[in-house]
Amino acid sequence: MKLFLAILILGFGSNSFGQKFEKISETEKQLIGSNSTEMMRVYNRNSPTDSITLKAISHPIKPKNKWTQVLAERMLLSVKNEGGVGIAAPQVGINRRMVWVQRFDKPEKPFELFINPEIIWQSVLMQKGPEGDLSFDERGLVMRHYAIQVRYQNLIGETLTEMMEGFTAVIFQHERDHLDGILLTDRIKEQENMNFEPSSVRSNLYYLKN
């Protein structure tokens, strides 16, 4: 039985699916382009102009849209070319709520697309591990929720819900942070003064102390 079935789960989150989708702007269309076989430039935090996009809050995107399809395909090419395990739309200059996550919890570890993703449940059990980012060179140890329940849309507009745990859950939380302008370095700084208590389940698992 998967570990998340044996631990306490807490819920939170807001529903972005009921929001009105803003039309893709002309600037966004120029960045997305029309050639789905070309990679996109990955934005770098050390660039003042790139940093503005990376720190901005992203908006929902309409799933059944030709621009969404092209953006998704080009993002996937970009993350694979960079050797990453996940990528968010802001990292290619588009402040829209869409991410790719490599599913290490599935056979052959495929990349999967999540449009307007939300975390609607999260475990009190935390996991500690190293993280990196395609948008800068720094790496660091970060605490993430061990198990999460997510809700999202796919390219045909279906709303789906599922559970994730372990490394896949870490990737999802990392990429989801990008959609709110939260970078890895922000999480590291945030957790400097937080206290965590080791669990008896596994050496890298913890509980947040009150």
Catalytic residue flag (residue 175): yes
Predicted pLDDT of residue 14: 39
C-alpha neighbours within 13 Å on the C-beta side of residue 210:
0
Between CA 43 and CA 131, with CA 102 as vertex, the angle to 5 degrees is 60
Distance between CA atoms of residues 204 and 114, nearest Å: 27
Say which CATH class 3-14+24-208 falls into.
alpha beta
The whole-number pLDDT of residue 19 equals 62
- pLDDT tens for 169-195 read 999 999 999 999 999 999 999 999 999
**% of the chain beyond a pLDDT of 70:** 91
Query: 205-208 and 98-102: which strand pairing?
Result: unpaired
Catalytic residue (one of 118, 131, 165, 175)? 175
Q: What is the pLDDT of residues 7-49, one digit of tens each?
A: 444 444 334 556 678 999 999 999 999 999 999 999 999 999 9
